[in-house]
C-alpha cells in the first residue's frame, strides 16, 4: 500500500473505534501485558559488594544432627482456597433485592425510579446517565439491545447514535417506529466503560428490572439485537449467527406473575455490527420483514 493509502486506512480504523465508543484513554501509552518481563540486570564486573560471603570452612569435627524444622507461623489469614472463593451469596442477595424492587413497580415510571435508586450495579457510578427505555407502551414490538453507547450515555436515551439511526431506518421500511408502535431498551441501563462487554454479574444484577420492563410494555413480539441480548433472554449458548432468523418463545417469572403468555421472539444482528459489516444488512433485513409478517398474522397494529 502507498503511504496515502496507509494513512486513509489508519484514519478509517480510528473513526470506527470512535463510533464504537472506544474514546477513553486509560494510559498515555499502550501496555502489552503479554510481553515477557525484562531480564534482571546483573552487576558490572568490579562492582560486586565489598563484603562477599566467605566460602564454607571444612570442619574436622563430626557433623551435628540436623535441627528440627521450625513450625510454620500461624497467621489470621484465610486458607487460599477460601480467600479465592467467589462471593455467590452477595450476588444472590443483589439479584433477590433487584427482583423484589422490580416486582413492586406497577408502571414504567415507578420502574424507572426504582432503577435509578438501585445500587446493586457498579456501572451506575461510572455512567453519566441512566438509559431506561423509549417508545410506545404498550407496544406491538419491543427491541432489546446490549448496553448504552457513548451517545446514549450522554443523552440518557437508547439507540440515538449511528446504530440507532440505522435501526430507525430499518423500522421505517416496515412501517414501525418508536413513536407509535415500537419500544426500545437494553439489557443494561448504564454504559460499561469504553463500551466493553458486560460481565455476568452486571447482567444478573439488572436482569430482574428488564424482565419487569418487558412485562410492563407487554409487546406482541420481542426482537433481541445482538448476541448478548439473545443469549441472555433466550438462555442459549449459540452465537448470534446461529440464533438469528428463527422464532422462539420468551417467558420469565415476571410474565408468569402478570399472567402474560410466552411472547414470540426473534434474534437479529445488532445495528452496530451492521455498520462494521454492511454485507450483513441483507440478513438483518430479512429478519425485520419476518417480524412485520409475524405482527400482521397477529392482527392490525395497535392504534394510538
pLDDT, tens only, 168-206: 999 999 999 999 999 999 999 999 999 999 999 999 999
pLDDT reported for residue 36 = 65
pLDDT reported for residue 87 = 53
pLDDT reported for residue 16 = 61
pLDDT per residue, tens digit, the chain (304 aa), is 676 667 777 777 766 666 555 555 555 555 565 666 666 656 555 555 554 455 554 544 444 555 555 544 444 343 334 334 345 568 889 999 999 999 999 999 999 999 999 999 999 999 999 999 999 999 999 999 999 999 999 999 999 999 999 999 999 999 999 999 999 999 999 999 999 999 999 999 999 999 999 999 999 999 999 999 999 999 999 999 999 999 999 999 999 999 999 999 999 999 999 999 999 999 999 999 999 999 999 888 876 5
Percent of the chain with pLDDT over 70: 72
pLDDT reported for residue 303 = 67
pLDDT reported for residue 302 = 77
Rounded-to-integer distance, Cα 222 and Cα 261, Å: 13
pLDDT reported for residue 77 = 40
| DSSP letter for each residue of 3-38 | HHHHHHHHHHHHHHHHHTT-----SSS---TTSPPP
The alpha carbon torsion through 241, 246, 251, 252 (nearest 10 deg) reads 0
* Residue for grid cell 425485520: 288
Cross-sheet strand order for the sheet of 133-135: 133-135, 182-186, 141-145, 221-225, 263-268, 247-250
Do residues 268 and 223 make contact, with C-beta atoms less than 8 angstroms apart? Answer: yes
Amino acid at each position: 500500500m502507498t503511504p496515502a493509502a496507509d494513512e486513509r486506512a489508519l484514519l478509517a480504523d480510528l473513526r470506527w473505534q470512535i463510533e464504537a465508543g472506544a474514546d477513553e484513554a486509560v494510559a498515555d501509552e499502550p501496555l502489552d501485558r503479554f510481553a515477557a518481563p525484562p531480564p534482571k540486570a546483573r552487576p558490572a564486573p568490579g562492582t560486586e559488594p565489598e563484603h562477599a560471603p566467605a566460602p564454607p570452612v571444612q570442619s574436622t569435627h563430626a557433623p551435628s544432627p540436623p535441627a528440627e524444622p521450625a513450625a510454620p507461623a500461624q497467621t489470621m489469614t484465610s486458607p487460599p482456597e477460601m480467600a479465592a472463593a467467589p462471593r455467590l451469596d452477595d450476588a444472590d442477595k443483589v439479584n433477590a433485592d433487584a427482583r423484589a424492587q422490580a416486582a413492586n413497580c406497577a408502571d414504567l415510571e415507578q420502574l424507572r425510579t426504582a432503577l435509578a435508586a438501585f445500587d446493586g450495579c457498579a456501572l451506575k457510578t461510572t455512567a453519566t446517565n441512566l438509559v431506561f427505555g423509549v417508545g410506545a407502551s404498550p407496544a406491538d414490538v419491543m427491541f432489546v439491545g446490549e448496553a448504552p453507547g457513548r451517545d446514549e450515555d450522554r443523552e440518557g436515551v437508547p439507540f440515538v447514535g449511528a446504530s440507532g439511526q440505522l435501526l430507525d431506518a430499518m423500522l421505517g421500511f416496515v412501517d414501525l417506529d418508536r413513536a407509535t408502535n415500537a419500544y426500545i431498551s437494553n439489557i443494561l441501563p448504564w454504559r460499561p466503560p469504553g463500551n466493553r462487554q458486560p460481565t455476568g454479574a452486571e447482567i444478573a444484577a439488572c436482569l430482574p428490572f428488564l424482565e419487569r420492563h418487558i412485562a410492563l410494555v407487554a409487546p406482541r413480539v420481542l426482537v433481541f439485537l445482538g448476541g448478548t441480548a439473545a443469549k441472555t433472554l433466550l438462555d442459549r449458548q449459540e452465537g448470534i449467527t446461529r440464533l438469528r432468523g428463527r422464532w422462539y418463545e420468551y417467558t420469565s417469572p415476571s410474565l408468569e406473575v402478570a399472567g402474560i403468555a410466552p411472547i414470540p421472539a426473534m434474534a437479529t444482528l445488532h445495528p452496530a455490527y451492521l455498520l462494521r459489516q454492511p454485507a450483513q444488512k441483507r440478513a438483518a433485513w430479512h429478519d425485520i420483514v419476518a417480524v412485520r409478517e409475524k405482527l400482521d398474522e397477529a392482527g392490525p397494529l395497535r392504534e394510538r
